[in-house]
Amino acid sequence: MYFTDKQLNDLMEQSQNEKIEVLSLSLDGFEGPIDLLLSLARDHKIDLTKLSILKLAEQYLEFLDYAINKDIDVAAEYLVMGAWLAFLKSKLLLPDDTDENIGSAEDFSELLEFQMRRLEGVQKVSKLLFNRHQLGTHFFKRGNPENFNINNKYSYSVSLYDLIKAYGNILTKNDTEVITIAETKLYSVENALTRLKELIQGSDEWKNLLDFIPQNIKNKLERKSALASHFVASLELVKDGYVDLRQDSFQDAILLSSKKYKSL
């Protein structure tokens, strides 16, 4: 489902007032976090060129909060963006003079603004494009063509799509063996969650997320999936209030600590 701007507006208000009927709201209407940000900016008539990242970040986080509270399935990408915005917000609210990485917050704001404007641009031209007259609807080709043999190569028709589709069919038909890929074990988020909880318990210093990933995984895909699962699991733990996460700049390691929460 997709919300109109007004519906969204109402939702935002409702989330603030916290006296609402449960709505069957989902994030399905949005094509990812940037799209959601754009939508929020539009709802609050925020001019993208004079973007207040702080305001927008607050709204995004509020919205995310609301969605999570309402038990709406929030995809990892929304959480990742949420994490970044939370980081950004803290940077903007508490500028730390001693922190050399403050620049990265500005860079990020700038990039974010660019991405939003670019996606907005795409959405605008997309409308322009599909508002054009279209063949077969507004203008027409010859309805009853006569066929000359311009060069008699074209007595058969086959498109590139037909061709690669045919090849795709052969591959899927024959490659029952491809299913050997099935042997790759992906590291599940549940496993990562259990593992992280065990390892982080009682640790009161900041530790690199990468150090929590099992070192004995040989398979590259599995290693990657372990990384991804641990990251998602760490976000989950933040959400549940078990740990703190921080990353000082884009290139820096993601650190986590359970200092504040001694008992899990």
Partner 1 sequence: MDNNKKKVNEIEFSFKEKIIEALIFASSEPISYNDLKNKINDEDLLNQILESLEIQYSSRGVNLLKINNTFAFRTSSEISEFLNIEKVVPKPLSRAATETLSIIAYHQPITRSEIENIRGVSLSRGTLDVLLELGWIQPGQRRSTPGNPLTWKTSNLFLDHFGLKEIKDLPGIDDLKNAGLLDKNKIIFNDETLSNE
Site residues for partner 1, 97-136, by CB under 8 A, read: 108, 111-112, 114-115, 117-119, 121-126, 128-130, 132-136
98 Cβ contact partners less than 8 Å away, ≥ 6 residues apart: none
Residue from the set 12, 80, 86, 102 that interacts with partner 1 by CB under 8 A: 80
Amino acid at 69: N
The least CB distance from residue 21 to partner 1, in Å, is 28
Count Cβ atoms below 10 Å from residue 178 Cβ, excluding itself.
10
Number of residues that bind partner 1 (CB under 8 A): 87
Q: Is there a contact between 245 and 238 (Cβ–Cβ < 8 Å)?
A: yes
Site residues for partner 1, 197-226, by CB under 8 A, read: 210, 223-224
By rule CB under 8 A, what string of x and - marks binding of each residue 5-24 to partner 1?
--------------------
**Three-class secondary structure of residue 52 per DSSP:** coil
Dump the DSSP string for 34-48: HHHHHHHHHHTT--G
Residue from the set 5, 13, 73, 77 that interacts with partner 1 by CB under 8 A: 77
Return the number of the residue (162 or 204) whose C-beta is nearest partner 1: 162
Instruction: Rule CB under 8 A: say whether 158 interacts with partner 1.
Output: yes
Q: How far are the Cα atoms of 141, 152, 153, 160 from residue 149, in angstroms, in the given order? A: 19, 5, 8, 21
Instruction: Rule CB under 8 A: say whether 76 interacts with partner 1.
Output: no
